[in-house]
Structure 1
Amino acid sequence: MSRRAAVVVLDACGIGALPDAEAYGDAGAHTLAHVAARVGGLDLPHLQRLGLGSIDAIPGVAPAEHPVLHGKLHPLGPGKESATGHWELMGAVPRRPLPAYPDGFPEDVVAALEHATGRRFCCNAPANGLHVLEEWGPHHLRTGELILYTSVDSVLQVAGHHHVLGEDELRDVCRAAREVMTGEHAVGRVIARPFIGSPGAFERTAGRKDLAVAPPGPTALEALTHAGVPVHGVGKVPDLFAGRGIGQAHPGATNSVALQSTTELLRGLDHGLVFTNLVETDQVHGHRKDVEGFHGALREIDAAVGVWLDLLGPDDLLVLTADHGCDPDMAHSDHTREHAPLLAVFPGHGGRRHDGPLADVGQSVLHWLTGAPGPDLPGTSFVG
């Protein structure tokens, strides 16, 4: 079949708390509605026309007169991670929460990290990624100790200034750390966080690298690859799947780059899947509670959606969704346990409402591109 599909993940754009959100400290979360309320309403004409406001009430986004297929998606497994959210979209459901470290990493783990990397570490605590640079950056520059930190999510992050070690060296450190973090300590992601600048003016670079643990089971990406369908990952998607099922990786460290990569693929591809992550609503704006920046990122995405709609043909499927939330109204600054929005553009969508698990996206992509959903994966196709 000579068809195309694109799945675009608006990172952290949750659309309402899941029933178990209270257990995660996220009762009442609704990222899109709360961002919208804080900025006086969202201005997203293309997403509005597709039906974003038909999914749930969002200030500034009216229900569409003729929406595309739309609804809310939920995870089948635990957690509120980028890794698990993307895995579930493609049918790999974690059975248990990934390990987290609310008190920092145990002494034996730190010792193993230092032995494996040949480096000393400082901080070793849950921390906001920008605040940790302000607090520990000067110490790091004086001593050469790398900044080791985590969050409420299952991550091990290592920050290093380019005067202390280069980005390639920092990535090597993180690869060695990934080898250590296995078994009971198999965190979802080990993340290299290079930064530049001087005390009081530190800045992260675009050289971030995510080293994810492998998905906990088979995915629709692997099924597509086995069926001979090209799979293109944009941004951090290849990293989140540890490369499994990804035929070709494309740049997307920032939204502008990822949007450009996606547009170029939609202009040039004859068939296959484009799977894109748009990171800035999470990494740059969500965790900082920067609602104006969040809205600005959404407007940039909305403009790109308008371009993509013009590039779609009768054999194309476009899915817009999310992986979790990052609600600015929460007391914390971490991800929130939320539904993901679903907007799916394809011939014959009929404006239907479709609520279901995140895995429905992977099944639908398989169905669209191969003619049948995957019998060994969870979820139900909404394109049949």
Structure 2
Amino acid sequence: MKVVILVLDSVGIGELPDAHLYNDTGSNTLGNIVKALPDLKLPNISRLGMGNIDKNIGLRPDSDPLGAYGKAIEMSKGKDTTTGHWEISGIVLDKPFPTFPKGFSKELIEIIERKIGVSIIGNVVGSGTKIIENYGEEHLQTGKPIVYTSADSVFQIAMHEDVIPIARQYEICEDIRSLLKDPYEVGRVIARPFVGTKDNFTRTANRKDFSIKPIYNTILDNVKNEGKEVVAIGKINDIFSGSGITQWKKTTDNNHGIQETITYIKQDFDGLIFTNLIDFDMHYGHRRDVEGYGKCLMEFDRQLPMLMKELKSEDVLIITADHGNDPTASGTDHTREHIPILVYGKSIKKGVNIGTRASFADIGATITDMLDISRPIHGTSFWRTIQKE
């Protein structure tokens, strides 16, 4: 048996009860896109029950949905990628990863410069595309890495591939990761390689995230410890720092992620396939591109049946998200939202409403019941509710 988790990165479905604490009142990534784009068509994900979850999503409810459906609240503090994925896998954080809305301290930057042997430029908050537009030429002239952050808990370093080779870029990130201890222990250090010349800089697919290691065992560890496979597709391996993972594939975009997921569904093994589809968040959410986000959703929806038909009779597909990133909101930050839960497979009851789950971790607890392994510390399984007799 395989359980396939597809994380539609940032496809939240409405503000959480505490959204006001994060300045996210009114956020609803999917719902506000549907509202803004009257011609948006998502027939396949709607057929699974997405429109049945909540009327505020704005999709027409299906009269006989193919899957079980519901939504989940984030118990952890924060609204970043690492926190969301970790909670899905069974870790609930009682404090958020630190953020640096004014950049990093002079003292920290000096420590980093001594460690990596070169001065840095930037140390500002901003969008990655604007960062290389503003600092790219100076970087080409001086060879100094560009450091920046965002409203997320990240330390990002942009370096031109012709100036600093990829291997060295990764070494620099690893050195910085080793230095970032409390109170600077961000969720991720991210290499952001780019190429090109002035007025034509573009980021490449050689991005790499250096996350902190999970603070205790996740469902990935539990699946692996039972001798089953854990396949990480997209940035999943980076998010978990390789913990509990037996195989991994880096991807260039959503299409590549879907194709790799299908490739592994076809293989003969028991275990977990954990896929992150990043385009929604990276290309459209942070850039507040409503139309582009909508087109990306429709492209995923068109490809969904191709993936579903490859599932074997015992396999289960779970479609969810890790946070929101409402492209109609102000700023460029993630938004604090519920995540959808859609569960499909021949062993799953059709049309079951699992309601509003108290934690993303309920997904992980349910998966461990599906695979008959030990449960994570957090989460309540809904397996008996959706399992066919």
TM-score category, normalised to shorter length: over 0.9
Q: Normalising by the residue count of structure 2, what TM-score does the alignment of the two structures yield?
A: 0.95
1:60, distance to aligned residue in structure 2 (A): 6.5
Which residue pairs with 2:19 in the alignment?
21
1:139, distance to aligned residue in structure 2 (A): 1.4
Which residue pairs with 2:31 in the alignment?
33
Which residue pairs with 1:380 in the alignment?
380
Q: Is 1:316 paired with 2:318?
A: no
8 Å CA contact 2:160–2:194 kept in 1: the answer is yes
Task: Report the residue type matching 1:364 in the other structure.
Answer: T
Q: 1:358 aligns with which of 344, 357, 360?
A: 360
RMSD: 1.4
Q: Distance in 2 between matches of 1:33 and 1:24?
A: 19
Which residue pairs with 2:178 in the alignment?
179
Q: Distance in 2 between matches of 1:105 and 1:349?
A: 50
Q: Is 1:56 paired with 2:58?
A: no
Q: What is the percentage of aligned positions where both structures have the same residue?
A: 38
User: 1:176-255 alignment to 2 at 5 Å?
Assistant: 176-255=175-254
1:381, distance to aligned residue in structure 2 (A): 1.4
Which residue pairs with 1:300 in the alignment?
299
Q: Distance in 2 between matches of 1:339 and 1:324?
A: 7
Q: Give the secondary-structure state (helix, strand or coil) at the position aligned to 2:261.
A: helix
Q: Distance in 2 between matches of 1:221 and 1:89?
A: 11
Q: Normalising by the residue count of structure 1, what TM-score does the alignment of the two structures yield?
A: 0.96
Q: Distance in 2 between matches of 1:58 and 1:311?
A: 32
Which residue pairs with 1:126 in the alignment?
125
Q: Distance in 1 between matches of 2:336 and 2:60?
A: 25
Shifted more, 350-359 versus 73-82: the winner is: 350-359
Which residue pairs with 1:333 in the alignment?
332
8 Å CA contact 1:41–1:59 kept in 2: the answer is no
Q: Distance in 1 between matches of 2:268 and 2:60?
A: 34
1:169, distance to aligned residue in structure 2 (A): 1.4
Which residue pairs with 2:387 in the alignment?
none
Give the 3 Å change call, closer, same or farther, for CA 18–59 of structure 1 in structure 2. Answer: closer
Q: Is 1:348 paired with 2:369?
A: no
Task: Report the residue type matching 2:150 in the other structure.
Answer: S
Task: Report the residue type matching 1:382 in the other structure.
Answer: F
Give the 3 Å change call, closer, same or farther, for CA 150–96 of structure 1 in structure 2. Answer: same
Which residue pairs with 2:135 in the alignment?
136
User: 1:34-183 alignment to 2 at 5 Å?
Assistant: 34-57=32-55, 61-67=59-65, 68-183=67-182
Which residue pairs with 1:273 in the alignment?
272
Q: Distance in 1 between matches of 2:136 and 2:268?
A: 44
Which residue pairs with 1:283 in the alignment?
282
- Structure 2 runs not aligned, ≥5 long: 385-389
1:247, distance to aligned residue in structure 2 (A): 0.7
Q: Distance in 1 between matches of 2:119 and 2:35?
A: 45
Q: Distance in 2 between matches of 1:40 and 1:23?
A: 31
Shifted more, 33-42 versus 135-144: the winner is: 33-42
Q: Give the secondary-structure state (helix, strand or coil) at the position aligned to 2:300.
A: helix
Q: Give the secondary-structure state (helix, strand or coil) at the position aligned to 1:72.
A: strand
Q: Distance in 2 between matches of 1:219 and 1:270?
A: 20
Q: Distance in 2 between matches of 1:237 and 1:319?
A: 15
Q: Give the secondary-structure state (helix, strand or coil) at the position aligned to 2:297.
A: helix
8 Å CA contact 1:42–1:60 kept in 2: the answer is no
Q: Distance in 2 between matches of 1:97 and 1:41?
A: 38
Can you list the C-alpha shifts for 1:125-158, whole angstroms capped at 9, x where unaligned?
Answer: 1111111111111111122111100011100000
Q: Distance in 1 between matches of 2:244 and 2:178?
A: 21
Task: Report the residue type matching 2:190 in the other structure.
Answer: I
